[in-house]
Amino acid sequence: LPLNDVVKVTVYLNDMNDFKVVNEIYGQYFSEPYPARAAIEVSGLAKDAKVEIQATAICEE
């Protein structure tokens, strides 16, 4: 599915201080109208990742 089918994004960060950089990169992939988004700071992510992104998209046939 193309990114314009995404309706909700959840961003998990192990350091909320990285949000500004993530937000700048996010803007390179999504455009208005932006999908709903939540950013959550977590204590750890798989394989020592700094960011994990979960996206929900709608597929209309």
Q: φ, ψ for residue 16 (rounded to 5)?
A: -65, -15
Domain boundaries, the chain: 3-57
Q: Is the domain covering 3-57 a CATH 1.10.1040.10 domain?
A: no
pLDDT in tens, the chain (61 residues): 899 999 999 999 999 999 999 999 999 999 999 999 999 999 999 999 999 999 999 998 7
pTM above 0.75, yes or no: yes
Tokens 């992104």 locate to 53
Residue 16: both structure tokens together: 């909320």
Q: Judge whether 51 and 45 are in contact, CB under 8 Å.
A: yes
- Cα separation, 26 vs 49, in Å, equals 17
